[in-house]
Amino acid sequence: VKDEREFDIILWGATSFVGKLISRHLFHRHGIDGDLRWALAARNPARVETLQQSLGEEALSLPVLIGDAFDTEFLREMAARTRVVLSTVGPYLTYGEPLVAACAAGGTDYCDLTGEVPFAQRMMDRYGADAEASGARIIHCTGVDSLPSDLGVAFLNDFAVRECGAPLQSVEMHVRAFRGGFSGGTLASFLEVTALAQKDPGVTRMLRNPYALCPPDQRTGVRQPELDMLGRSEVDGRWLHPFFMAPVNTRVVHATNARLGYPYGQDFTYTERQAAPNQLAATVRHLVMAGLMLGMSNGAGRSLLARYLFPKPGEGPNESVRNSGYFKFVFHGRTRNDRRVTGQVTGDADPGYGSTAKQIAEAAFHLAREVPRTRVAGGFWTPVSALGLGLVDPLVAHAGLRFEAKHAD
């Protein structure tokens, strides 16, 4: 039976750039003989040992599993030993499928950091029935994409229902700060998605669908605001430009809505853009971003960028960049009874790595301990639809996040 499994969490990809930060968080928060039974898993034993040494003497006694992302027998055994597999092995389109298949078949809960929408949709369509049958809860996008957006909307909706007596009708989210860096792994994953879209027009269509991550029979809905526009906010007049994570985050927010039976209503609209201090800054950032996207849209551009501009897999922002990083998302909501509410989610470390590591570690712990199958059955879920607002307190207590909501009229 599931509760008798040897581990609560196996961290798969412990030696990735972000995996090392997750290991550090789990080690400092839970130690090795504490309230969490956990293990490290990766493909290279020497790299795991270096990681253990960097954590400290005690970490050398953490259990270790060694195997390859394509070794299905190894993955099946790993999945059978734990309640939750937390995976950082990406690009997920390249490495992720055999593990999702093993977890879905073995009744093992799973969470990851993918922001690759085609991967998440494909996994749901291929393994949804297996997960429902086995009881495995599979959750993608459990880092800065898309946990803060997903929880930020749910938190504001909860406030709206309690304080205004009606749920949200629409939310305009402004990214007011996003300071940190990128890792080679993240950029490799971006390149993977753009390469796939270039090859397959079906993927381009999927990426344009705001409802792409909803369950298969719920992938349509009202027209959503465009995300690729430069312009001024109707709420506060700020200059806004496209936010690179919006094409993932908005899909996750709509998937939560669909998964939970439309608590925000079937005609809910949601948009995310990044705020700039003035028109010039917004325009320059927009042009730089558009240039990068153009560069990534063909094979030659992708290899040039990967070779000369982007960090290599395994590399990422250094400690001082991570420590001085932070993010601030502001959610401007309108309720169904026409009241204005504002929410805010902030994080105390660089969003993509320092903060993401803490977020997914807390999410995995919460999934292992606080989400019984009687409440959330097997299947493909989003962070909020599986983990709920109960995740807010641990994120505030242990992951440096803050949540606020207030009236704005």
Tell me how far, at minimum, the Cβ of 409 lies from ligand NAP, in Å.
33
Using the minimum distance from each CB to ligand NAP, give the nearer residue, 146 or 269. Answer: 146
**Rg (alpha carbons) of the chain, rounded to whole number:** 20
Q: Which is nearer to ligand NAP, 116 or 158 (CB)?
A: 116
Closest CA to 341 of 349, 351, 330: 330
Distance from C-alpha of 168 to C-alpha of 153, rounded to nearest angstrom? 9
Question: Between 51 and 405, whose beta carbon lies closer to ligand NAP?
Answer: 51
Rounded Cα distance between 106 and 94, Å, is 21
End-to-end CA distance of the chain: 52
Minimum CB distance to ligand NAP smaller for 164 or for 195: 195
Write the burial class of residue 80 (CB in 10 Å: 0-12 exposed, 13-18 middle, 19+ buried).
middle
Vertex 154: Cα angle to 165 and 329 (nearest 5)? 115
Nearer to ligand NAP, 17 or 365 (CB): 17
Give the shortest CB-377-to-ligand NAP separation in angstroms.
Answer: 25
- Compare residues 168 and 173 and give the one whose CB is closer to ligand NAP: 173
Minimal distance, residue 16 CB to ligand NAP, in Å: 3
Q: Give the span between the Cα atoms of 97 and 102, in whole angstroms.
A: 9
Question: Nearest distance from residue 302's CB to ligand NAP, in Å?
Answer: 15
Closest CB to ligand NAP among 117 and 240? 117
CA angle 61, 63, 68 (to 5 degrees): 135
Q: How far apart are CB 74 and ligand NAP at their closest, in Å? A: 9
Q: How far is the CB of 311 from ligand NAP (least distance, A)?
A: 8
Give me the residues that bind ligand NAP (CB under 6 A), please: 13, 15-19, 42-44, 47, 68-70, 88-92, 95, 113, 115, 143-145, 183-186, 189, 313-314, 316, 352-353, 356
Collapse the DSSP code of 323 into the 3-class scheme (helix H, G, I; strand E, B; otherwise coil) and give the result: helix
Name the token pair of 39: 């293990």
User: Shortest gap between Cβ of 232 and ligand NAP (angstroms)?
Assistant: 28
| Secondary structure (3-state) at 171 | strand
Q: Is 370 helix (H, G, I), strand (E, B) or coil?
A: helix
